[in-house]
Structure 1
Amino acid sequence: MSKNKSSMKNIPGWAIMLAVFGVLYLTGLHTEAVGQVQRILLATGVKKADVPAVAENSAITTEAATPVANTPMAGAGFKMVGLDGKTVSFESLKGKVVFMNIWATWCPPCIAEMPNIQKLYEKVGSGKIAFVMLSVDEGGIEKVKKFVSKKGYTFPVYMPASQFPQEFASNAIPTTFIISPDGKIVAKHEGMADYDTKEVRDFLQQMVK
C-alpha cells in the first residue's frame, strides 16, 4: 500500500491535470467545467458589457422616436427558426429594442454568461425589448432544445434559417448586439460579459422611452 502511495506522489501535477481534462473531454463535460470557471470570473465584475453611457443616449432615443417604417434595419432579410419550428423574420422585430446574443452549446464562454442573460431577460424582457438568443450549433434544433430545457432558460432561442447577415459578422463567440427600434446597431460586445448590470438595464430601457 505504501508503495502505491509513493508511486502516486511521483506523478507530475501536469499529468494529473491532463488526465482530469481527458476524462472531462471524453465524457463531454469539459465545456460545462470551463464554463463554470468562467462564470466565476464574471461574478467578480471584471467582464462588464460595453454599452454607451445612458447620458449619451439622447441622440439614440430621439432617432427611435421618429418614424421607422422607411429606414433600413440591420439584418434585413434574415430569417430565423424558433425552437417551436416556426420561421421568424428578423425585420418583424423592427420598432423594438433587440438584444441579440450569438452563441453555441459547445462554447464555454457562452455557457458562462447565459445565467446573467436569463436574469436580464426576466427583468427587462417585454413587448418593447426583444431577446434573440441565436444559436449557431450545427447539431440541429433538437440538440439546442435539449440544452435549453436542461438549463431551464426561458428567453427566446433561435437558429439561422437563411444566410447570416454581414452586419452580424464577428471574430468571436459569443458576440452580443443591441439594436435600436429604428434598426441600427448601437452596441456590440465580442466575448463573454456580465449583462445583468444597472448600466445595461438602463441602456435598454432608455431606448424604449
Structure 2
Amino acid sequence: MDLKNFLKKQWSNILFGVFIILLIIPQTRMPIQVFVQRLISFSPSETSEEKRETLSDYNWPLVGLNSEEIDFSQSEGKVVVLNFWATWCPPCVAEMPSFQKLYDDYASKVDFYFVTTEKPDKVTRFLKKHNYSLPAYLQHFESPDQLQSSVLPTTYVLSKTGEIVVNESGVADWNSKKIRNLLDKLLSE
C-alpha cells in the first residue's frame, strides 16, 4: 500500500491521534477545552419558584484586586450576579466573554461579583490579557450558606428580595436573551 492510499484510509485515525496529543500538551489543552466548553454552553435556567431559597445573611467580607475591602451586604436590596471562578478552570474561562457582554450592558443596574480564591496578581494578569473589566474579588472568608458550592464555575442570580433565582453550576451562556429578560424582570420588581 502506498502512502497516499494509507493516508486516505487512515486520515480520521491520524486526526484523532493529533487531537489527543494536543490535549496532552498543556499549552494547547486549555484553549481546546475552552473552545469545546463554549460550543456546549446554553442559557442558564431559572430556578422554579417552589425550589428557590432566600439569602438570609448578606454579611460576607470580600477583597477587591486593589486590596479594597467591601462587604457583600452593600448589595442587599439589589439584583446581583455572583460568579465563583478561577483562571485555571476551562468552563470558567469559556463563559467569561458572555459575562463581559452582559456586564457591559448591566453594570450600572446590577451588582456583579466575580469571586476567586486565586492570587490577585494572577487574576489581574488574566483580566488584563483578555481585556475584561469584570469586578473581581478575592474570597478570604466563607460565603453565606446558601451561596456555597464545591463546583467551578457556579453562578447565582439574586432578586432584590434575596431570592436565589438562578443557581447554575458549569459553563453557561450568560449573554442570552433569556438571562437579559430575567434581569430586566427582576430590575422592574
TM range (shorter): 0.7 to 0.9
How many angstroms does 1:101 deviate by?
Answer: 1.0
Aligned residues: 179
How many angstroms does 1:75 deviate by?
Answer: 4.9
> Partner of 2:85 in structure 1?
103
Answer whether contact 2:153 2:171 (CA < 8 A) is retained: yes
> Partner of 1:38 in structure 2?
37
How many angstroms does 1:173 deviate by?
Answer: 1.4
Q: Distance in 2 between matches of 1:50 and 1:151?
A: 27
In structure 1, list runs of 5 or more residues that go unmatched. Answer: 61-71
Q: Distance in 2 between matches of 1:73 and 1:144?
A: 28
The TM-score normalised by the length of structure 1 is 0.74
> Partner of 1:196 in structure 2?
175
> Partner of 2:134 in structure 1?
155
> Partner of 1:84 in structure 2?
66
The TM-score normalised by the length of structure 2 is 0.81
Change (3 A) 1:16 1:101: same
> Partner of 2:113 in structure 1?
132
How many angstroms does 1:73 deviate by?
Answer: 4.6
Q: Distance in 2 between matches of 1:31 and 1:16?
A: 16
> Partner of 2:75 in structure 1?
93
> Partner of 1:20 in structure 2?
22
Answer whether contact 2:120 2:138 (CA < 8 A) is retained: yes
Determine if the alignment matches structure 1 residue 48 to structure 2 residue 43.
yes
The one-letter code of the counterpart of 2:151 is A
Q: Distance in 2 between matches of 1:178 and 1:88?
A: 19
Q: Distance in 2 between matches of 1:119 and 1:96?
A: 20
